[in-house]
Amino acid sequence: MLHLRVIAPDDLRDKVVEALRRHPGVTHLVVHRGAALDPPGDEISADIARESANDVIDDLKALDLRRRGAITLDLVDTVVSNAAYRAEKEADGDPGDAIVWEELSARTREESTLNVTFLLFLCLACMIAAVGVVTDSPVTVVGAMVVGPEFGPLAALAVALVRRRLVLARRASIALLVGFPVAMAATAAFVLGGEAVGWIKLGSTRQLTDVDFIFQVGPLSFVVALLAGAAGMLSLVSAKSAALVGVFISVTTVPAAGFAVVAASVGEWDVALESAAQLVVNLVGITLAGVLVLAVRRRHETRPAG
């Protein structure tokens, strides 16, 4: 279940309580009059079934609480209450299939912001991938896949396209369009520095046998990106984070960026272009899969019962 906390001005208290009472998935309703200081008003809390969350939030937003008060949602791990069990049973749908759109938007918005932390993770992941390429080490390449933070902006872009959130789409696009060039430039400096001091000695990427799959673009590249993107979005909306690790090591986004840099450093521009194409194919495939998953789930939610 989810714990809902609302701050509402005095004149909206009764309307908020009435809105919450309308939903069978709401229970444990509590009102603290005058408890809120900033913004001033009443604190109203309740536990709600995930299946009811979107309808409840829509009703509360219709009361202009986003501007005049506040709406907060928190995940409740354990609830021992017959009233809670009854609320979940009476709510339409299954909690495992429910998407709380505001929760998803907030989560992806946080993970898609271009900031120093995002850039550092992406740079480090590309550098690790480059080391994996020059050492022909699949294990190191897999490590780079896990470290890469690119799924956050891709998921945010999918959510933005489905929800038509221009601001979120812009934020995610900037993170990708700025992040990857910066990471690749930093990786180029890293590779050239390694070559200058003699730590990196690679005459040609064509002699690699264990990591050459990274730049080999084909129909299955797009298929894997679609499948991984679908799995990633399902993992995100169902809060099953363990599955995300499998997504990270299924697609060659960061490794393709690192391979492109290494190939360019030895003058093999055709391989570098193939690696860049692999990167684009994976980015597009993951985003498209995320959009399709969310669109299907949204259509299922809005379909009339019966």
pLDDT tens, the chain, 306 aa long: 899 999 999 999 999 999 999 998 999 999 999 999 989 999 999 999 888 888 899 999 999 998 999 999 988 888 888 998 888 888 877 666 677 888 888 878 777 889 999 999 999 999 999 999 999 898 998 889 888 889 889 999 999 999 888 998 999 999 999 999 999 999 999 999 998 888 888 877 878 888 888 888 888 889 989 998 888 888 887 755 555 666 666 678 899 999 999 999 888 999 999 999 999 999 999 999 999 988 887 776 655 444
Q: Please name the amino acid found at residue 25.
A: G
Pairing of strands 70-75, 40-48: unpaired
| Predicted model pTM | 0.80
Note the pLDDT of residue 278: 92
